[in-house]
Every structure is written in structure tokens, then in C-alpha cells.
Chain A
Amino acid sequence: MWDWDYVYELLPKLLRALPATLGAALCGFALAVLVGILIAIAGRSRFRLLRGLTTGIVDFIRSTPLLVQLFFLYYSLPMLTPLAMSAFATGVIGLGLHYACYLSEVFRSSIDALPKGQWEAASALNLSKARTWFSIVLPQAMPPVIPIMGNYLIVIFKETPALSAITFVELLMRTKNETSISFRAFEPYTITGGLFIVVSLLLSLAVSRLEKRFKNRTTA
């Protein structure tokens, strides 16, 4: 059932797909953080319409499957708009938007936890809105949630196989292709499953290291 020779031959091929997978995850994560911050800022807007719209969109995106959102982006957008995006770009945008909605909640609660005095001090200094956000609020609200952000990076990484549905060649797609060449399924899927577990565990180890360091810093 388990053929080591085949594994040695297979492993390098599969590993070659890892950079694409990690690349998509990292780009998606970066976009998610960026958009997540924007959503969090919009959620505190003084315009009620904008606030309502933001919560509505966040709720909708969080309530629907990433896979369907990817299909929508990849197959419908080119018909509705003159845009035609590559599978990679679509995947990154899909992952980014989907997890921006989750991260915005994380940022929102961290921003809400800031003492009111910080806002008052900023307006007492007559700082502009943008200045207040980028010099006062975000530098304080972001560091405490870095470990949570790290966890979302792991989640995004584990979701990347869904991108194979829109023809992006990542680890799972490569694995599938290998199985159709060799007609062996056990080794390829087991290795790929193992790779995901190993990378996730390594990342979460890094996150908990980070978390400990932050805890030490705040208690010191």
C-alpha cells in the first residue's frame, strides 16, 4: 500500500507546488488585513448609511461559502465588468475579502477596547481624522491582535485548496494531477494532508511564540 520509492519520486514534485500555495495564502492574508482595517474604520464612520452597509456586507460575506464567492468572482465578474482576472488574482481577492470580514471584527473589538481618553486626547491636540487613526489608534490597537492575525493566516493557508476549483494550480491540484498520472492515490493525498498539518503546526508554534513574547512585554 505504501511505496517509499514512489514517495521519494513524488515528494519533490509536490513540494514545488508549496510556494504557489504559500504565496496565495500570504497575498490573501495581506489583502485581508488591509481591507479588514478599512472595514473596521468604516464601521466607526459617522455616516449611518456607511455603517449599516458595512455590517450588512460583512454579515453576507461571512454567511456564504468561500468556494461560491470564488466562483462568482471568477466566472461572473468578467461577464458583468470588463475585468478578467487570472486565477491567482481571483483567489487572492476571494481569500482577502472573505477573511477581511473576519479580521475586521477582530480589529473592531481591539479598537473598541481603547480607552476613550485616547480619542479625546487626539481631538484635544486637534489631530486630523486620518492622523488620529494612523498615529494614535491603529498603532495601539494592532499589536495586541497580532497573534489572532497569525491564526487567521493559518486558516487562510488551509483554505487555499479551494482555489483549485478556479483552476489555480496549488498543492491539492498538483496532487490530483499526480494521482491521474500514477493511478496511485494513497501516497499523494497522505503526503499532501501531512504537508498541510506540518506547515499549520509550524505556523501555530510561531504564533504561540509570538503570543508569549507579547505577554511578557505587556506584563514587564
Chain B
Amino acid sequence: MNVPIGQWLPFLMDGAVVTLRITVFAGLLAFSLSALSGMGRLSALTPIRWISGCYIELFRASSLLVLLFWVYFALPIAGLELSKTWSAVLAIGLNIGAYGGEIVRSSILAVPKGQYEASIALNLRPYTRFIRVVLPQAFVRMLPPMGNLSIEMLKSTSLVYFITMADLTYEAMILRNNYYTHTPIIFGLLLLIYYLMSSCVSWSVRLLERKLACWR
């Protein structure tokens, strides 16, 4: 059986670029939302704490695929019409950001009390306390769970197939229509590509962790 992988690769590459683009943009949004909501949840100001808490609870409780449908199909009726890319970025970013917010919050809380006390004893300003003492330590704690979350996000981009975005999964489904008899190989290849991409993510997070946690 002649398997024309060479002919498939350009299509799969195009799809991989779309997948990566959504991952990066959604990642940026998710990361910002994680930082804002995670720190917001620990804020001294009640309204900020409340808003952050609501955001985290609400979006962790919602189903990403349904959220994606809502953003893409329902939001335009409410007056906000987004392109496929931005719908995907918004839905994934909002959802993953809520999980990230929990990670940020718990990592900050995991910094020992003695570190706060020492920085008060050194008379550091609250801002300096946070930026120079708490954050560097919390950040290293965040890395492993954030790495896992990044992989979850990369995987979740496959859901954009449902709104007919030409990502990796979508391209593979099209190939399957044209090369029906090779279905198992096409899906096998698809799984392999996702696996390689995930491995790259976890590998770079581990590298970053080793670099930033040299003091451990």
C-alpha cells in the first residue's frame, strides 16, 4: 500500500501553523488573565477579590467547547462579531486563564510566611516585597502546573475544528475525505504531531524550570 505522506505534509504543516498561532495568542491572553485574576483574588480590595473570584469560578465551571460555540455563534447576536481566530483565542484564553488564576493564587499562597516577615523586618515596601521576594519564588512554583496547563491548552485548540477553522485536526479530517482508506494512518500521524508539539512544550518548561530554580 502506497502511503503518500509527502503529499499530506504541506497540508498538515498549514494546519500546525494555525494550531500554533491560536495556542500562542490564547496563551498570551490566558497568561495575562491568570496573573490578573490570581493576584486579584488575593487583593486587599473586596471588589477586585470578588470579580476575580467570580471570573475564576464561572469559567472553570463552563465547558470550553460550549463557550467556543457561544462566543462564535451567540455573541454576534449580542453585537460582538469576532473572526474565527479571535473567537477561538477568546474562548480558550478565558477558559485556560481561569485555571491559571488558581495556579497563580495557590503558588503565591505557598510562599512561606517567614518570607513576608523577613521582608517586613528589612522594611521593604509592599510593592518591593511582592516583586522582589514573593513573585520570584511563586513563579518557580507555578512553572510545573503552568507547563501542564499549556499542554491542556495546546490540546484544546483541536476544538476549533468545530467552528471549521483550518487547524491541524481540520486539515487531517479533510485529508481523510480524500484518502479514505488511509484513515488510521492519517489519525495516527495526527496524534504523533500533537504528541511532538506537547513534548516540545513540556521540554521547554522543564528547561526553564531548571534555569530559574538554580537556587533550589
Contacts and interface: CB of A to CB of B under 8 A. Distances in A.
B191 A69 contact: yes
B78 A186 contact: yes
Nearest to B157: A65
Contact of B73 (A75, A158, A159, A189): A189
Contact of B74 (A66, A68, A164, A185): A185
A67 interface: yes
Contact of B66 (A65, A68, A71, A161): A161
A60 B161 contact: no
Q: What interface size band does chain A fall in?
A: 35 or more
A72 B62 contact: no
Given A68-B191, A186-B78, A201 B61 contact: yes
B184 A80 contact: yes
B77 A186 contact: yes
Given A172-B69, A186-B77, A193-B70, A68 B63 contact: no
A157 B64 CA distance: 11
Contacts of A172: 63, 65-66, 69
A63 B198 contact: yes
B120 to A, nearest CB: 32
A165 interface: yes
Contacts of B77: 1, 185-186
A196 B169 CA distance: 25
B99 to A, nearest CB: 10
Given A76-B183, A161-B66, A185-B73, A60 B61 contact: no
A106 to B, nearest CB: 13
B151 interface: yes
Given A193-B66, A196-B63, A67 B191 contact: no
A69 B65 CA distance: 16
The SS class assigned to the B binding surface is helix
A158 B172 CA distance: 25
A157 B66 CA distance: 12
Interface string B153-183: 0011111011000000100110010000101
A162 B61 CA distance: 16
Contact of B63 (A67, A161, A176): A161
B194 A64 contact: yes
A67 B169 contact: yes
A204 B61 contact: yes
Contact of B199 (A63, A71, A175): A63
B188 interface: yes
Interface string A50-85: 000000000010111111110110011001100000
A64 B73 contact: no
19 contacts: A63-B194, A64-B191, A66-B155, A68-B158, A68-B187, A71-B169, A72-B187, A76-B184, A158-B62, A164-B162, A186-B78, A188-B74, A189-B70, A189-B73, A189-B74, A192-B69, A196-B61, A200-B63, A201-B61
